[in-house]
Amino acid sequence: MVDADDVRRIALSLPHTVEIDSDGFDFRVGNRGFVWSYPEFAPGRRRVIRSDIAVVYVGDEAEKQALLLSEPDVFFTTAAYDWLPLVMVRLEAVDLDRLRELVTDAWHMRAPAELHVHHPLAGGEHHP
């Protein structure tokens, strides 16, 4: 099980990451969001920032659907996120290694190309 502090530590360990002021967490690279707290909306209520749930960029609809179908206890989505390459991650349901993989992959997909040379993927590969 991980929490918002783990998200923050991982995100800020990646080059050129900026944390945006928010009620939870919100991280960007090259002015592109890659992981942030889930803003939960309920009809007739104020928005609630859920720092126990991370919204993570996953690249495309195929990856999103693969995650949602393979691990529904970890990943979910809502109608507001239809057709967006984003999934919500229940932080209580993932371990530190999996969180690091998700956040690092999101960073690589959102970071400007020139940053990839300076921060290869964990496996030693370079992101195209």
Give the model's pLDDT for residue 92. 98
Say what the pLDDT of residue 114 is.
79
> What's residue 116's pLDDT?
65
- Count of beta carbons in the 10 Å neighbourhood of residue 68: 16
What is the predicted pLDDT for the residue at 122? 43
The DSSP bridge pattern shows strands 26-29 and 48-57 to be unpaired
Q: Which residue segments constitute the domains of the chain, with CATH numbers given? A: 4-116 (3.90.1150.30)
The verdict on pTM exceeding 0.75 is yes
CB-based burial, 32-44: b 16+ in 10 Å, e otherwise: ebbbbbbbeeeee
pLDDT tens track, the chain, 128 positions: 899 999 999 999 999 999 999 999 999 999 999 999 999 988 888 999 999 999 999 999 999 999 999 999 999 999 999 999 999 999 999 999 999 999 999 999 999 887 765 555 543 444 44
Report the pLDDT value the prediction gives residue 117, as an integer from 0 to 100.
54
The pLDDT value recorded for residue 128 is 41
Q: What is the dihedral of CA 70, 3, 8, 98, to 10 degrees?
A: -30
Q: Distance between CA 41 and CA 44 in Å, rounded?
A: 9
